[in-house]
Amino acid sequence: MKAYIMALACLFAMPVLAQKKYMINSFMIADKVIAMPAITDIDGIPTPPNDLKQVTVKSTKNNHLLQSQTGLEKFLLKDTKQLPTMLGERDILKTIQLLPGVKSAGDGNSGFYVRGGGADQNLVLLDDAPVYNPAHFLGFFSTFNADAIKEVSLYKGAMPAQYGGRLSSVLDVSMNEGDKEQWKVSGGAGLIATRLSVEGPLQKEKSSFLISGRRTYADMYLKLSHDSDIRKNRMNFYDLNGKFSWSLGKKDKLSISGYTGHDVLNLSGLFGLNWGNKVGAVHWNHTFNDRVSVNTAATYSNYDYTAAVTQANYNVSMYSSMKDVSGKTEVIYAANANYKMHIGTSATYHHMVPGNAQNAQKGSVNNVQQPTRNSLENALYVQNEWQASDKLLLSYGTRVTAFSVLGTGDFYRVDGNGVVTDTLRYSPGQRVATYINLEPRVSASFQLTQTAAVKASYTRNVQNLHLIANTTSASPTDRWVASTNIIKPEIADQFSVGYYKNLADNQYQVTVETYYKNMQNQIDYRNGADVFDNQALESKLLYGKGRAYGIETLIKKRKGKLTGWVAYTLSKTERKIDGINNNQWYNARQDRTHELAIVAAYQLSNRFSVAANWVFYTGNAVTFPAGKYIINNQVVYYYTNRNSYRMPDYHRLDVNATVSLFKKKKFSSDLSVGIYNAYGRENAFSVFFRQSKTQPGQTEAVQVALFKFVPSLSYDFKF
Amino acid sequence: MQKLLVCLVSIVICTFPVSCERVVDVTLNSSMPRYVIEGVITNNGVCRVLLSTSNNFDEDNNFDAISGATVSITEDQGGAILLTERKPGNYQSAYLKGKTGHTYHLLVNIKGQQFTASSVMPPQAVKIDSVFFSTEILGGTNRRIANACYTDPPVKGNCYRFVQYINEHKESTVFVDNDKFNNGHTVAYPLYFRNNDDDARRNIISGDTVRIEMHCIDSTLYKYWYSLSSLTAAVWAAPATPSNPVTNITGGALGYFSAHTVRSIRVVVH
């Protein structure tokens, strides 16, 4: 707690205290006034009282009553340590899927859906740099090595104006900073991966570093196979995080952080898939005085994907990539304890290669160079936070974005049937279109009593990068595209109201939030679009609108031997796109009526703890046949309405036990054992239809489940 | 490009050897019976239109033929040729022979409902020059695959469909290709199929006689066959939202009308 107050005190930028380190010998909490005899500095010399201004320090830790934001979930990674894992890999993307309003995209998929939005409508940031595909192993694991992550904030709407570019949510992940005082080594091994982190001072109390790596050895299991072809397969991934931080004098802080990760899947040396992210960020924080400070950052993000076939008579690869270079600066002005303002600007250059087929040797394939796409995204924002009274906290601001689509490249005009009518050729840097959007937002929280509050918010978000995907799982045909002269920016307006209550001396938190979201310029494929025939993607797309609404409840127990939460969401999300389902509203794929997550951890003793989570949700909206007919002497299925059926309900129990093997100041180690999907429910990954083998002339539905039980084991150490 | 999709699917299948399949009960809505039209005119004398109706999912696979319809085909600006019903729902003409480069118009009248379609027979009847067999790893098992070698004409926009027969047993997989990635080249097109019902007749072994038909089709038919083939793709590559194939028939019927060339090659597997 003390450290927390210290940290907060620094954050609140006290002029004198920022100059020197102080020991706070006592403090006041809430309404208990404790006289503070004197504050001494770190050397024990009492501070003259007039050097000290009155500082109001608000602990926001776990006190969601004091935030104006609706739909914000914040947690420290160390608080998720006991939760069950998949094969021993702690995963923040899996943890947030247990929160209300956040839906998992399903087994074998790291995507998530927030309040009815699509998987591409989440902005995932690692130290402010966007991560375009935070998935390993076709989605079984996320790219966030838990050892390198400090804190995660998830905004399910009502994000402050500092954030922009996606409709549904912002997942702001911050990396750990190295310890400035002493060296530390931690690490561990799970069933499929091993991890190691090293941190320490570069110059004591002034600068530090942290390097954290993870590598799978899933290939080893393949080597155990009797089949020589399987033994030749390769599948692995690695993550490497690094962060360097410096305190430059009394007023400046500088940090450089980076991440690189890569997946390789290779089948007998004949087929290969590999993809990876590289992100980097430089942050500089300068404090002018007790009221004004400036944060400046430069970030870089690169995601690329290659699918390749290498055979004697056929050798082709398909490559796509997404590159961002971005700079931003922000001035924070704290007029007094009740008013704070952020003013900032940012510029991002996007460079996309949408999918190039390349022929590595003389063969039968022409190189198909898709036009690269370049765009410039500029933003200006103002965000204010104003404690209007003891009870009323207001947060309001706006963001103005200007998205310019630039040449080189061909752009098209398309008629109503998706036929290209004109091709417009642009030279390098030539402006194709500019979309300027105003994105206002306002949130208010009103404290009803010491333990209860209501909040309301309205936010408009705009998205100019779109992921066009047509398969149930990640595939090379999923492509990021920027807005063009035809593809318009997606726009969402979200209204949200919530009630928040703390019970039993803040041991329990209860949250009820409702939301309504209206979406414009939503994109979907035309029926039967050939996704590989990618000359003019615009000719394969349809546009329309969407709406999503729901109610989210969360009951959280934060203290005691038993901790955890129950999250229940009742929601609806629909689309209406001209050319689909006779232009009627239809369920979005991720529309799931009910979603329930129960998460519990129990500390049996100092050494033993157990944890479990149980999830239940209504199956996705899917399209099943309504009939069948004969074509080409084959039975073909006949479809009527899109997404008018349901997959079977999904439910799963995961359990985990952690034992502390060794706990000394210098060295500690833990062992975790668990089972994912403990009662072996065969949850449907997909349902397909075929002619029955046992009853000729009949047709049957077949459900495919990916796995039943998945054991997990992990050993972690720290010294 | 099909190779890339196959590669993706294979990788995924091999990556998750633990997936489990079982037959489940799914209650499906019933649908109004729909008319199905399958019209073909080729350069080697086939001129045939099949008319049937769709069934509900839980019914058997006996599809009612539609008798008594009026079916005619018109070549470019010529006069309409009436087709005769030879068998129930099977309408043919012995006089009409398709010619490359010509456009054909189909008119079907079923109980007063009109359906129309047009199709262009491509100007060149491209043929398969040779066939070789390769062993491929598909879904974790080794299987022999026929590769059809042909030379794509220099003009852009050619579309093809292949039909494979093993000892005259027709392979159900839809094979389509176009020259998007290999215009003007000599192409070896691999005829990948998933033997998802473990039917031994579908596998290629030494001594088998393999016959492959190559059809040159127009781009609207490519769209039809491509969208039909994606419906039967593997679970992993299946479209998230399946829909009926993109038909060239107006008036609300299922199916297609195709004017195409046919060239065959027959080889014995060694």
Q: How far is CA B234 from CA A279, A322, B8, B195, B230, in A?
A: 34, 28, 10, 11, 9
Does A638 contact B244 at a Cβ distance shorter than 8 Å? yes
Q: Which chain A residues are within 8 Å of B246, Cβ to Cβ?
A: 527-528
Cα(A54)–Cα(A33) distance, integer angstroms: 14
Quick one: CA dihedral B181, B183, B185, B189, positive or negative? positive
Residue A21 has pLDDT above 50, yes or no: no
Which region among A117-126, A226-235, A630-639 has the lowest average model confidence (pLDDT)? A226-235
Does A628 contact B238 at a Cβ distance shorter than 8 Å? no
More confidently predicted of A719 and A478 = A719
The helix (run of H) or strand (run of E) holding residue A696 is: none
Residue A8 has pLDDT above 50, yes or no: no
Please provide the average confidence, as pLDDT, over all residues in chain A. Answer: 84
Share of chain A above pLDDT 70, in %: 83
pLDDT score of A229: 64
pLDDT score of A313: 59
Q: What's the mean pLDDT in A181-187?
A: 92
Amino acid present at A678: A
Does A108 contact B196 at a Cβ distance shorter than 8 Å? no
Residue A3 has pLDDT above 50, yes or no: no
Q: Which chain B residues are within 8 Å of A648, Cβ to Cβ?
A: 24
Residue A448 has pLDDT above 90, yes or no: yes
For the record, the structure tokens of A184 come out as 């530390």
Q: Which of A125, A11, A20, A101 is nearest to A60 (CA)?
A: A11
Does B31 contact A640 at a Cβ distance shorter than 8 Å? yes
Residue A650 has pLDDT above 80, yes or no: yes
Q: Which chain B residues are within 8 Å of A233, Cβ to Cβ?
A: 14
pLDDT score of A45: 46
pLDDT score of B119: 96
Taking the alpha carbons at both ends of chain A, their separation in whole angstroms is 23
Question: pLDDT averaged over consecutive 10-residue blocks of chain B (270 residues)?
Answer: 52 54 84 93 94 91 94 89 95 92 96 96 94 76 87 93 95 89 85 80 92 95 88 64 88 96 94
Q: What's the mean pLDDT in A332-341?
A: 94
More confidently predicted of A347 and A19 = A347
Does B31 contact A626 at a Cβ distance shorter than 8 Å? yes
What is the Cα Rg of chain A in Å? 27
Q: What's the mean pLDDT in A358-370?
A: 58
The helix (run of H) or strand (run of E) holding residue B24 is: strand B20-24
Q: Which of A208, A217, A213 is nearest to A196 (CA)?
A: A213
pLDDT score of B46: 94
B contact test, residue of A232, A629, A686 with most B CBs within 10 A: A629
Task: Count A/B contacts: CB-CB distance under 8 Å.
Answer: 249
pLDDT score of A230: 66
Does A629 contact B254 at a Cβ distance shorter than 8 Å? yes
pLDDT tens digits for A577-597?
Answer: 988 888 999 999 889 999 999
pLDDT tens digits for A276-286?
Answer: 999 999 999 99
Q: Which chain B residues are within 8 Å of A529, Cβ to Cβ?
A: 227
pLDDT tens digits for A112-126?
Answer: 999 999 888 999 999
Which region among A328-337, A409-418, A649-658 has the lowest average model confidence (pLDDT)? A409-418
Does B140 contact A637 at a Cβ distance shorter than 8 Å? no
Does B240 contact A472 at a Cβ distance shorter than 8 Å? yes
Each residue of A342-365: b (16+ CB within 10 Å) or e?
A: bbbebebebbbbbbbbbbeeebbb
Q: How far is CA A638 from CA A149, B62, B63, in A?
A: 49, 15, 13
Neighbours of B62 (CB within 10 A): 10
Neighbours of A605 (CB within 10 A): 9
More confidently predicted of B46 and A316 = B46
Q: Chain B residue with minimal CA distance to A264? A: B11
Of the candidates A316, A471, A535, the beta carbon closest to that of B237 is on A471
Q: How far is CA A19 from CA A8, A131, A205, A249, A333, in A?
A: 15, 36, 14, 10, 19
Cα(A177)–Cα(A188) distance, integer angstroms: 19
Q: How would residue A57 be classed by pLDDT, with cut points 50, 70 and 90?
A: low
Residue A38 has pLDDT above 70, yes or no: no
| Sheet containing A149-155, strands listed edge to edge, beginning at the edge strand earlier in sequence | A72-76, A149-155, A169-175, A122-126, A129-130
Partner residues linked to A242 by β-bridges = A211, A258
More confidently predicted of A299 and A409 = A299
How do beta strands A634-638 and B70-75 pair? unpaired
Q: How close is the nearest chain B Cα to the Cα of A155, in Å? A: 28
- Domains defined along chain A, listed by start: 1-24+62-718 (2.40.170.20)
Does B239 contact A471 at a Cβ distance shorter than 8 Å? yes
Q: How would residue A24 be classed by pLDDT, with cut points 50, 70 and 90?
A: low
What is the reported pTM? 0.85
- CA angle A517–A455–A567, rounded 5-degree value: 70
Does A636 contact B231 at a Cβ distance shorter than 8 Å? yes
Q: What's the mean pLDDT in A247-261?
A: 94
Q: What's the mean pLDDT in A557-562?
A: 89
Q: Which chain A residues are within 8 Å of B58, Cβ to Cβ?
A: 699
Q: How would residue A107 be classed by pLDDT, with cut points 50, 70 and 90?
A: confident
Contact (CB, 8 A) for B223 and B246: yes
Of the candidates A235, A309, A535, the beta carbon closest to that of B3 is on A309
Q: How would residue A140 be classed by pLDDT, with cut points 50, 70 and 90?
A: confident
pLDDT score of A62: 44
- Beta-carbon contacts of residue A462 (< 8 Å; ≥ 6 apart): A164, A165, A167, A401, A435, A437, A439, A489, A490, A491, A492
Contact (CB, 8 A) for B99 and B43: yes
pLDDT score of A417: 79
The helix (run of H) or strand (run of E) holding residue A356 is: strand A339-359
Q: Where are the beta strands (DSSP E) in A558-626?
A: 562-577, 586-587, 594-603, 608-617, 621-622
